[in-house]
Each structure stands twice: as structure tokens, then as C-alpha cells.
A and B are shown apart, each in its own frame.
Chain A
Amino acid sequence: MTTLQSNILENHTPTGREEAWRFTPLKRLGGMHDGSAKPEARNSLAVNGALPAGATFTHQEIVAVTETDDAIVNRIREFTSQGAVLTIAPSAEITEPIFLNRTSFGTDSAEFARVLIKAGNHSKSVVVLENTGDTHLAEDLEIVVEPGAHLTLISLQEWGSKTIYAARHHAIVDRDATFKSIVVTVGGDVVRILPTVDFIAPGASCDLSGVYFATAGQFFEHRMFVDHKVPNAKSRVNYKGALAGDKAHTVWIGDVFIRAAAEGTDTYELNRNLLLSDGARADSVPNLEIETGEIVGAGHASTTGRFDDEQLFYLMSRGINMDDARRLVVRGFFNEIVAEIGIEDIQNRVMARIDDELAKAGK
């Protein structure tokens, strides 16, 4: 067992001393981690709009495709074996994005949800998960990307301010398959997402990117784990965050494990944070554990900084006022990743939300 995986919990309940939980405000998780939450199976995930040919969506019995030591996921699995299943047929090439959204039911109880997304071999699809409103949600999302399949998953956290959301988004990526994930977290009280990837055959690749913007009091945690256990797989991680306001707190953990068998691995991970005010805190921890030297490349970078005065001066010297200059810089900062979404409506919506967060922060 490596340090990246050692997360043994007594009685399934994290105390905050474990590596995986050391940043998370356990008291603000609504009891989803310790059994005190009142779980419900609401099956609130539904297709938004028409489902294109080649895709099916059902609520049914789910057999977990992976094991995990995550306390919340294990509680979900103990609670229910039912969940939502989206299947993309083998060889289906679906050009229109598939939209799934969640209806919120308030915060009196917690929804414990399981989801399985299965991209059949050599299929090509884009799936958008839209999360809005106020809820308590614990989610076990498993993603299977079969040989030769290309799946893009866009996960939008546009939650209301009372939401507590704790989830594992785990992808199993098979031979010559690609998994592209874009996580946007701009709303919620506490959001904790574990975007994790398991490569199970050579030629697999993943591209995990994300943007987050936390304002006063919000806690957003994104904790990657990419497991290179087979040769010739490629991973890229690029998360960018902005923080503003008292006790805005973000956590980015980038764990990449290159096992002895994973020769030919190519990995790079990056996290950049923009601190827009005092009183905010960005934790950024890349971890690279390498058991073989026979690799193509492995690297990481992490930066946390404030507004670049020179950028603001340059823009303002062209007549652009301070607020507009800040907006341009922040939009530019996030643009690299938001542009990857590839759906113009959503890109505009995310940018507008980022403008709003910035405007709120400026007050």
C-alpha cells in the first residue's frame, strides 16, 4: 500500500486525521460521512431534453465496477444498490451532447445516489451533468470507458448556497480509450469531488480539467487520483481556481501514481490559483509517486498568486477601468479551460457566473 492509497478508516468514519480528509470540514458535511445524515434514494437524476439514438437511460440495479475506501461512497453502497445508468451503445457516434440534470429537494435529508455511465467500445459522446439548487447529495458516479471509446464528461456544479455535495467521479479507461472530464464548481456551500481515473489497458488516456471559484465561506475540494498501472497511458490534469472573500477555501490534490508496470507513462498535472482578496485560502498539493524510470514524462506545477499588477496596469493604460480590467484578466485566466467545454451556451453561462462571482467579491 502506498502513501497515496493509505486511507484506512476505523469504523468507516473519517476523523479528519486521514490524508484524504485532512482538509475537509467534516462538521459541514451534513453527516453524510459519519452515518448521521438521513439518507434517501430520490433518483433525482433525469434526462434533460431528448435522448439521442445510441443512448439509453434507466434507473436500475447497479453492481459496482470498482472498490474504494472512500467512506461516503461506501455508505451510499450500503444504503442502496439502485441507481441511474446511462449507456452509450458500442460504435455509436453521438454528436449532440446528452444532458442529465438533477432536481433538488431541499436540505432536510440527504440524497444518496449511484450513477453509472458506460461508453461502449468505439463510441463517441459528450455527457453534461447539470447540478443546480439546494440539496445535500452524496454521489457514487462510476464511468466505464470501453476500448476505443471517447467520452467527454462535463460536470457543472452551479449549486445554490446551501448545497452540500460529496462525490466520487471514478473513471475506468480501457485500451485506446480517451476520457475527458471538465469539472466546473461555482456554487454550493461545501463541494468535495474526487475525480479519479484507473487505466486498465495500454493506450488509454485522460484529460482532467476543471475551474472553480469560491467566495466568502465556500469550501470546494477537488481531489484527483490517476492510477497508471499499465504501460503507455497518458494523463493530463489542469485545474484553475479563483478565490475571493473571507474564509473562501479551495483544495486541489493531484495524486498521480506510476506503478512499476506503467512503462511509457506520460503525465503532467497543473493547478493554478488566483487569490483575489485577503482571508481566502487555496491549498494545492501535487503528489507524484513513481515506481519506474522508463517513462515518457512526468511533471507537475502548482502556483497560487494574486492579480498581476502589470497586467492590470497594461489594460488600464488603454482606458479600461479597474473592474473591467479585473474581469478581463479573470476571464482570460479561466478561458483556456472553459473554451474546452465546446458548448457555447454553457461556456457563456459559466463565464457569466464567473463575472458574477467576481462582482460579488469586489464588494
Chain B
Amino acid sequence: MSTLEIRGLKVSVETEQGAIEILKGVDLTIKSGETHAIMGPNGSGKSTLAYSIAGHPKYTITSGTVTLDGEDVLAMTVDERAKAGLFLAMQYPVEVPGVSVSNFLRTAATALRGEAPKLREWVGEVKAAMESLSMDPSFAQRNVNEGFSGGEKKRHEIMQLELLKPKFAILDETDSGLDVDALRIVSEGVVRSKASNNHGVLLITHYTRILRYIKPDFVHVFANGRIVEEGGPELADKLEANGYAEYASA
């Protein structure tokens, strides 16, 4: 059983007009096997929360703590956070020209497992992960995210989730830009990954449709840089019906 604990997190970004505070004190605790949905309007700071936990250099933590089983996540480098068990599925996965998916995955698996996976087993593992996400085998030879469609990028993210087996998966708007079929395939990947690894899920989304496939245990409404309301799955239904209007002034 692992615990990811966020306490009083305040985060700002540097702009030409000076530092702007985006997160204004976030408290959240996620345990293994739990699925937490963070929902909120655009610009509320949801993605900033995801990137701050993963350690993106653009964000400055001004106060608060993030710990994983008591270890100080904020003191870790980006790769150390991944090694500690954090995984961020990005909304806009980055193209890495000239680096094949196959090479990238193996390098990542080697880093996270501490040794290179045995070639034969690894090939089978990758093949199975790709098949279960309905990805063509030629995918492995393409350059990371280069020329991928929106759906292919998200499948590639979830394939990594399945292969890299983190303790906590942060999914940043994984549903955005997906058609119904792709949304189902990607969601099934998340559910499967969770079923086999019992990792915690922090699901960041603007819309409720992905929650039909990935059932949240807890729903947190995010507005203006903080969590403004919390509840069970029924809170998502309320948001579906009423939208975010009531939180606009929060």
C-alpha cells in the first residue's frame, strides 16, 4: 500500500509580467488502488498540478509538500520521481525525432527496473501491450510521437503506463481529442493496468465521458487553483448536469 500525499501546494510560473500563482494551496491524498478524478474548467490549474508533481522545470513550488510513502517528491529530479513510482500521461506528448518507440521504451524500462529487460521477454511484453491497445506492430519502429495522430499519442502514453508499472498514474486530459472508439481502448488500458498493478490513479479531465469507463472513487472539483468541492462519483453526475458555472467565482 502506497500513499501520495499533497499538502498545501502552492505553485507559480514566471511570466513577462512577473510570477503568477497558479496553485493556491492544494491538499489531496491518494492511496494505492484508488481512482481520484480532478475535474474543473480550463485554466483552473489542473494540468499545473500534474506537471508540478512530475517536476516540470517551468513550475516553481512556492510552498507545500508532496510525499510518496513519506519520501519528499519535491526534492527529487524528474527521473527520480519516475523511479519512485510516479507516471504522468501527458496531454500533449512530446515528439523526440530520431528516437524509435522501441528504443525509447527499452531505455525507460531499463532505467526504471534497474537492469535491461531480457530481450525475448521484453519483445513479448511490448507486443502484448501494443496488441491490447490495438496498435500496429510497425508502431515500434516509428519515432517517438513524431507524426502520431492524437489517438496514437494517447495509446502510446497508456502503453507506457502498462509497461512501466508505476505506483501512481497521473492522467492529464488523456480523454482530450479522442473519438469514442479510441477513448474506450485507452480507458480499458488504464483499467487493465490498475487491475494488474493496483496503482493509484489521478485522472484529470474537463469532461465526464471518460468516467463512464474509468470509475472514480473520489471526485474533486478544481477551480481557481484549489479544490473547491469533493465527493463521490455522484459529484460527477452533478457536474454533467450543471457544468462548472457555480464554481466560476470560487
Contact = CB atoms under 8 A, between A and B. Distances in A.
Interface stretch (B14-22, B105-113, B117-125): B105-113
A334 B143 CA distance: 13
B69 interface: no
Given A316-B79, A319-B112, A320-B107, A309 B96 contact: no
Interface stretch (A135-143, A217-225, A323-331): A323-331
Contact of A313 (B94, B97, B103, B144): B94
B111 A319 contact: yes
A317 B54 contact: yes
B160 A318 contact: yes
Contacts of B97: 332-333, 336
A46 to B, nearest CB: 35
In which size bucket is the chain B interface? 20 to 34
Contacts of B143: 332
A324 to B, nearest CB: 7
Nearest to B97: A332
In which size bucket is the chain A interface? 20 to 34
Given A332-B99, A334-B98, A335-B98, A319 B82 contact: yes
A331 B111 contact: no
B192 interface: no
A334 B87 CA distance: 29
Nearest to A332: B98
Contacts of B83: 319
B98 A321 contact: no
Interface string A326-354: 00110111111000000000000000000
Contact of A314 (B90, B98, B103): B90
Chain A CB count within 10 A is highest, among B55, B58, B88, B94, for B94
Contacts of B7: none
Contacts of A329: 96, 99
B98 A324 contact: no
B164 interface: yes
Contact of B56 (A313, A335, A336): A313
Interface of A: 308-311, 313-322, 324-325, 328-329, 331-336
Q: Report the 10 A-B pairs with minimum CB-CB distance, sorted nearest first.
A: A332-B98, A335-B98, A319-B82, A318-B108, A316-B78, A332-B99, A319-B111, A314-B94, A319-B112, A316-B79
Interface of B: 54-58, 77-79, 81-83, 87-88, 90, 93-99, 103-104, 107-108, 111-112, 143-144, 160, 164
